[in-house]
């Protein structure tokens, strides 16, 4: 298996607060990896260290074997990372079509059929000319995932992709992610919703108190007592 | 194919609206035929300010960069034209080289200042403060250059009295060079304006414009598309400042004169007022609005320049409160609504709708 992403002894502290305490982590090509953990586990900080929004205090993030310490966020995207933030980061005054035009242009793919295909795959055909400000929350999430996917990344990061979605939208998003995975896309998903995690993940990583508590196949991890204790707040 | 949906947008009313965009240009082309030479020269004066306003509209309306520094590049280009032509003579090619020199100086200065701003991660209102400081520093510096020691070659800077005596633009002509003045200067400005308008529409209606809007609305998300936001901001800043420089050089050519007050506080506020009033997201609206506001100011200035300023301030206040997208987009939107074809998704500014129509 080709290793796409690896962190070695990753640490982050803000003043005296140690938020990430030395995480060794790896994602291989073809995986859907879910990173889970209770509130305050350090998931968001870990995500931001990987995407370049935060600089590590110690340790390193390696992508495709290259140290990312001094690689700017936009350069990471050009190298093959793609990111969907937790809060939908769309451009309110642009239409759905213009969003996809822009992201396809960044991917150097200006073919109209690519745009039509994206609209169809992400269930946005009827919103093509709608301004992003007028989209429902779920559609904004899909639009953002569509933009991230259109960049043809080697590794797609999704930070809570179903936050604020209805049950139906959550399920549809899960199916969408499975289809993307079947097409060969590697993904790292930070998520709270365990129903969704069970729907999509083959392997999970559990963070707790800024450290890696467990890492492995979904069923094995969920069967562990220590995971149940930190995640559900009780012993099994 | 989704394109099949779009021809429905090309209704007769839409074609009429599109044809209406050409009316101001046609009127502008015929004006010198119906007015005297002096009026043509005055009309050229009204139009030449539009370049800097268009530059600010691109920066502010599209890129979200509010600069008070258009006048700094206006002044730099104007003084550069004077220094070049007063030193190298008034042959036809010298005058055009002088215009080129003015543009080059404003581009280089904009690149340096822009690099410090954007690569120094200066954002938001602080860009306005830095650019305003630049123009005020230049004004203050030029104001104290009255002594004879302040000369570059043959060109005396002359402090607050201003630099004068620059040659006009000339073109080679059988029987001797032809001086561009009054109607011929008006047509030069108009042709340049048409070229700038077409080029800016092409640029801003394309992916460069989309990228600027994306940066304006959500820079972090734009960065996650692989966009180097600093580079794009620097590019639009330099482009906008170069257009400010073009206004400055043409102004100096028009009057053979430039003073430090063209870089002062009142002057620095003018482009912001013109663009905010006209509609910062509409290039055509900015040109038309700026020309009309300058014309209005000129006519009111006959009764005292303070009246023009008071009226401009009042207009700006009303526009900000009643039509924050700008007067012309506001009027255009209501006209479209009256035509019964208000889009179910009309954007606040005109730019997005125009762009979508442009693609259809």
CATH of the domain at B29: 1.10.3470
CA distances from B339 to A134, B19, B336, B345 (A): 24, 15, 5, 16
Q: How far apart are alpha carbons B63 and A63 in whole angstroms?
A: 32
- Kindly report which listed range (A21-35, A208-222, B10-24) carries the lowest average pLDDT score: B10-24
- For chain B, give the mean pLDDT: 87
pLDDT band at B300 (very low <50, low <70, confident <90, very high): confident
Residue B350 above 50 pLDDT?
A: no
* Interchain contact B350–A (C-beta under 8 A): no
pTM here? 0.87
* Cβ–Cβ below 8 Å for A91 and B349: no
Residue B4 above 70 pLDDT?
A: no
Q: Kindly list the residues from chain A whose CB atom is less than 8 angstroms away from the CB atom of residue B207.
A: 101-102, 105
pLDDT band at B353 (very low <50, low <70, confident <90, very high): very low
Beta bridge partners of B161: none
Handedness of CA B2, B4, B5, B6 (dihedral sign): positive
Asked if residues B34 and B212 have their Cβ atoms less than 8 Å apart, the reply is no
pLDDT band at B322 (very low <50, low <70, confident <90, very high): confident
CATH of residue A150's domain is 3.40.50.300
What is the tally of structural domains in chain B? 1
Nearest-Cα residue of chain A relative to residue B355? A98
Q: How far apart are alpha carbons B214 and B223 in whole angstroms?
A: 9
Q: CB atoms < 10 A from the CB of B153, how many? A: 10
Q: Kindly list the residues from chain A whose CB atom is less than 8 angstroms away from the CB atom of residue B356.
A: 95, 97-98, 129
What would the pLDDT profile of B190-221 be if each residue is shown by its tens digit?
Answer: 999 999 999 999 999 999 999 999 999 999 88
**Range of the structural domain that residue B246 is part of:** 20-359
B1 found inside a domain? no
Instruction: Determine the 3-state secondary structure of A205 from DSSP.
Output: strand
- Kindly report which listed range (B234-243, B255-264, B336-345) carries the lowest average pLDDT score: B336-345
* Interchain contact B175–A (C-beta under 8 A): no
Asked if residues A181 and A187 have their Cβ atoms less than 8 Å apart, the reply is yes
Residue B339 above 80 pLDDT?
A: no
A12 found inside a domain? no
What is the tally of structural domains in chain A? 1
* Interchain contact B121–A (C-beta under 8 A): no
Residue B183 above 50 pLDDT?
A: yes
**Range of the structural domain that residue A137 is part of:** 30-54+72-232
- For chain A, give the mean pLDDT: 89
Residue B13 above 80 pLDDT?
A: no
B165 found inside a domain? yes
B3 found inside a domain? no
B8 found inside a domain? no
Cβ neighbours of residue A16 closer than 8 Å, sequence gap 6 or more: none
Task: Please report where in the chains the tokens 């633009």 appear, as a residue.
Answer: B169
Of B1, B345, B11, nearest to A125 by C-alpha is B1
B12 found inside a domain? no
**pLDDT value, residue B207:** 93
Q: Kindly list the residues from chain A whose CB atom is less than 8 angstroms away from the CB atom of residue B282.
A: none
**pLDDT value, residue A236:** 47
User: Nearest CA to CA, how far is A233 from chain B (Å)?
Assistant: 35
Reported ipTM: the value is: 0.86
Residue A214 above 70 pLDDT?
A: yes
Average pLDDT over residues B168-188: 90
What would the pLDDT profile of A73-118 be if each residue is shown by its tens digit?
Answer: 899 999 999 998 877 779 998 999 999 999 999 998 878 888 999 9
A–B interface: beta-carbon pairs under 8 A: 89
pLDDT band at A62 (very low <50, low <70, confident <90, very high): very high
**Which residue in the set A77, A95, A103 is minimally distant from B356, CB to CB?**
A95
User: Nearest CA to CA, how far is B6 from chain A (Å)?
Assistant: 10
Q: How far apart are alpha carbons B209 and A105 in whole angstroms?
A: 12
**pLDDT value, residue A115:** 92
Q: How far apart are alpha carbons B67 and B237 in whole angstroms?
A: 9
Of B120, B158, B213, nearest to B166 by C-alpha is B158
Handedness of CA B177, B180, B181, B182 (dihedral sign): positive
A142 found inside a domain? yes
Residue A136 above 80 pLDDT?
A: yes
Average pLDDT over residues B1-15: 46
What would the pLDDT profile of A143-166 be if each residue is shown by its tens digit?
Answer: 999 999 999 999 999 988 888 888
Asked if residues A143 and A98 have their Cβ atoms less than 8 Å apart, the reply is no
B6 found inside a domain? no
A219 found inside a domain? yes
Task: Please report where in the chains the tokens 């969003």 appear, as a residue.
Answer: A99
Specify burial of residue A189 (Cβ count, 10 A radius: 0-12, 13-18, 19+).
Answer: buried
**pLDDT value, residue A233:** 62
Sheet architecture: strand order including A58-63? A17-28, A3-14, A58-63, A66-67
pLDDT over 90 percentage in chain B: 65
Q: How far apart are alpha carbons B207 and B127 in whole angstroms?
A: 24
């Amino acid at each position: 298996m080709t290793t796409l992403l690896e962190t070695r002894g990753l640490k982050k502290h803000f003043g005296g607060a140690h938020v990430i305490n030395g995480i060794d982590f790896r994602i291989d090509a073809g995986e859907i990896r879910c990173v889970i953990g209770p509130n305050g586990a350090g998931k968001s900080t870990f995500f931001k260290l990987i995407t370049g929004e935060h600089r590590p205090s110690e340790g390193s993030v390696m992508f495709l074997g290259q140290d990312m310490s001094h690689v700017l966020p936009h350069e990471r995207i050009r190298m093959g990372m793609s990111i969907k933030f937790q809060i939908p980061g769309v451009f309110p005054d642009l239409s759905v079509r213009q969003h996809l035009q822009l992201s396809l242009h960044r991917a150097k793919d200006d073919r109209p059929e690519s745009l039509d295909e994206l609209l169809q795959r992400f269930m946005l055909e009827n919103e093509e000319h709608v301004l992003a400000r007028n989209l429902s929350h779920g559609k904004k999430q899909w639009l953002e995932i569509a933009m991230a996917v259109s960049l043809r990344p080697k590794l797609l990061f999704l930070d809570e992709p179903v936050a604020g979605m209805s049950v139906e939208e959550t399920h549809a998003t899960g199916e969408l992610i499975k289809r993307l995975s079947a097409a060969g896309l590697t993904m790292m998903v930070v998520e709270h919703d365990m129903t969704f995690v069970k729907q999509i993940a083959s392997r999970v990583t559990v963070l707790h108190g800024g450290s890696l508590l467990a890492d492995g196949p979904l069923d094995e991890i969920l069967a562990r007592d220590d995971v149940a204790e930190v995640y559900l707040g009780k012993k099994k | 194919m989704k394109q099949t949906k779009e021809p429905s947008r090309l209704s007769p009313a839409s074609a009429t609206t599109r044809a209406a965009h050409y009316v101001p240009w046609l009127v502008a082309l015929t004006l010198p035929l119906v007015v005297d030479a002096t009026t043509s020269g005055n009309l050229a004066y009204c139009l030449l300010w539009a370049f800097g306003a268009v530059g600010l509209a691109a920066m502010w309306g599209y890129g979200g960069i509010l600069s008070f520094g258009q006048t700094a590049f206006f002044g730099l280009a104007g003084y550069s034209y004077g220094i070049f032509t007063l030193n190298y003579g008034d042959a036809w090619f010298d005058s055009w080289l002088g215009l080129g020199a003015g543009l080059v100086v404003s581009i280089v200065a904009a690149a340096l200042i822009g690099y410090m701003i954007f690569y120094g991660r200066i954002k938001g209102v602080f860009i306005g403060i830095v650019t305003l400081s630049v123009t005020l520093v230049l004004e203050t510096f030029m104001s104290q250059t009255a002594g004879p020691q302040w000369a570059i070659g043959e060109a005396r800077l002359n402090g607050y009295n201003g630099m004068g005596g620059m040659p006009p633009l000339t073109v080679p002509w059988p029987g001797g060079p032809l001086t561009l003045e009054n109607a011929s200067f008006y047509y030069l400005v108009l042709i340049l304006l048409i070229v700038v308008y077409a080029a800016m529409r092409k640029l801003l209606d394309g992916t460069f414009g989309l990228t600027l809007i994306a940066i304006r609305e959500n820079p972090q998300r734009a960065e996650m598309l692989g966009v180097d936001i600093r580079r794009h901001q620097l590019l639009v800043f330099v482009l906008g400042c170069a257009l400010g420089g073009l206004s400055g050089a043409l102004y100096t050519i028009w009057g053979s004169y430039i003073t430090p007050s063209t870089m002062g506080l009142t002057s620095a506020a003018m482009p912001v007022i013109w663009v905010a009033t006209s509609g910062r997201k509409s290039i055509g609206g900015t040109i038309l609005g700026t020309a009309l506001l300058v014309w209005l100011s000129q006519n009111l200035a006959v009764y005292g320049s303070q009246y023009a300023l008071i009226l401009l301030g009042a207009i700006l206040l009303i526009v900000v409160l009643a039509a924050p997208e700008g007067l012309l987009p506001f009027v255009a939107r209501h006209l479209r609504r009256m035509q019964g074809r208000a889009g179910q998704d009309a954007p606040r500014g005109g730019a997005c709708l125009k762009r979508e129509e442009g693609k259809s």
